[in-house]
Amino acid sequence: MSGISNDQLFQDAEQEGTDQCGHRGESPENERSPNAAEKYIIFESEKIRYAVAASNVKEILINQDVFPLPFVPDWIKGLLNYHGEPCAVVDIHAMISAGRNKQTAKTDNYRKSIVLKKKFGGIALQVFEVEQIARIADLDVYPYPDPNHDAVYFDSLVRLGDGEIPSLAVTTIAEAVQKHSGKRI
């Protein structure tokens, strides 16, 4: 299985005081430390950049076979075999766009997957490209401001040099996958 393990890339993300959902706890004074930072994986899907906290990620896989599933939404692309365990592959852009934009690009040729930690129920995000793994200062992470439908899948915005990138709310995404697949995968 070819991929980039989180052992070295993400090891300090687990040691930086994140809770079980990957969110950083507030300091005793309820202020963010100017020196505190967390790693984020910045990736692209459908020419849109997204971020996911590295503390929520187990591994990045390349060129894994995805086996289609019947009777699931189009944004659940199928299952991949992750070390003998089934892992639901989610097209995050199609999930966010569901119901609004019937025309999405063909993502079957997307050959990279970001596998979330097991506590999220065996989910991999199908992505076009992993752009970078960046350490983002806590002062550059703030709540997602948009109250529309899309906001449910984002928990924050991260500021990275050339702009702001929505960060995924992985617990909400995991709940949606479980709801639409009929059971925990």
Domain boundaries, the chain: 3-181
Q: What pLDDT was estimated at residue 146?
A: 72
The Cβ-side half-sphere exposure at 169, using a 13 Å CA radius, reads 15
Residue found by looking up tokens 């003998």 in the block: 84
Pick the CATH number of 3-181 from 2.40.50.180, 3.40.50.11540, 3.50.50.60, 3.30.70.260: 2.40.50.180
β-strand pairing of 85-91 with 123-127: parallel
Q: What is the pLDDT of residues 90-102, one digit of tens each?
A: 999 888 887 555 5
Q: What is the pLDDT of residues 56-86, one digit of tens each?
A: 999 999 999 999 989 889 899 999 999 999 9
Query: Under a CB-based contact definition with an 8 Å cutoff, are residues 39 and 53 in contact?
Result: yes
Q: Where are the beta strands (DSSP E) in the chain?
A: 3-5, 37-45, 48-53, 57-62, 76-82, 85-91, 112-116, 123-127, 129-137, 141-143, 154-160, 163-168
